[in-house]
């Protein structure tokens, strides 16, 4: 696809992201940049249904607090479903919704682009941070 086509198709997207009812669309986009959201979605996409502790084991370095918060956010936007089995001891599991699977599919091109150009970002930063000496990252 030519870049002109990209621009034309981006028009609706970029305008919708500025007009905006309230910023909901940008908040959904922000899931992409959030620390754990994408990892959670991916883990659920692979495994189908997971409990809190199982997710914690798969996401290296996540704390209970952040896992809970991230799950709430994803649930709020309809990307995952939280099912509380009302048992003792507690038993809660999470499943990806169709919407959540859509996020993963939509993220893919951007994700692979980021990976493909990782070295470009790295060198751009090194150049930038090198120019004025202080304040690295």
Binding residues (CB under 8 A) for a copy of itself: these are 1, 3, 6-7, 9-14, 16-18, 21-22, 24-35, 38-39, 42, 45-46, 59-60, 75-78, 99, 101-115, 117-118, 120-125, 127-129, 137
Q: How far apart are CA 64 and CA 62, in angstroms?
A: 7
Query: Choosing among a copy of itself, DNA, none, which partner's interface includes residue 70 (Cβ < 5 to 8 Å by kind)?
Result: DNA
Question: How many C-beta neighbours within 10 Å does residue 130 have?
Answer: 9
Closer residue to a copy of itself (CB): 78 or 90: 78
Question: Least separation, in Å, of the C-beta of 108 and a copy of itself?
Answer: 6
Whats the size of the chain, residue-wise? 137
Interface ranges with DNA (CB under 7 A): 30, 33-36, 51-54, 61-66, 68-73, 82, 84, 89-93, 137
Tell me how far CA of residue 12 lies from CA of 2, 20, 108, 127, in angstroms.
17, 12, 20, 34
Question: Least separation, in Å, of the C-beta of 94 and a copy of itself?
Answer: 14
Q: Which one, of 134, 76, 120, lies nearest residue 100 by Cα?
A: 76
Tokens describing residue 77: 């936007």
Query: Choosing among DNA, a copy of itself, none, which partner's interface includes residue 66 (Cβ < 5 to 8 Å by kind)?
Result: DNA
**Largest Cα–Cα distance in the chain?**
59
Query: Choosing among a copy of itself, DNA, none, which partner's interface includes residue 57 (Cβ < 5 to 8 Å by kind)?
Result: none
């Amino acid at each position: 696809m030519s870049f002109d086509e990209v621009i034309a198709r981006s028009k609706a997207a970029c305008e919708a992201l500025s007009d905006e009812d309230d910023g909901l669309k940008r908040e959904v986009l922000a899931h992409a940049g959030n620390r754990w959201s994408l990892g959670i979605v991916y883990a659920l996409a692979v495994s189908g249904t997971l409990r809190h502790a199982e997710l914690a084991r798969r996401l290296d370095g996540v704390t209970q607090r952040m896992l809970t918060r991230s799950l709430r956010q994803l649930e709020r936007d309809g990307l995952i479903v939280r099912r509380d089995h009302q048992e003792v001891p507690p038993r809660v599991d999470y499943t990806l919704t169709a919407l959540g699977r859509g996020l993963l599919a939509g993220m893919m091109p951007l994700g692979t682009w980021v990976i493909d150009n990782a070295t470009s970002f790295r060198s751009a930063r090194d150049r930038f941070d090198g120019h004025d000496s202080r304040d690295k990252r």
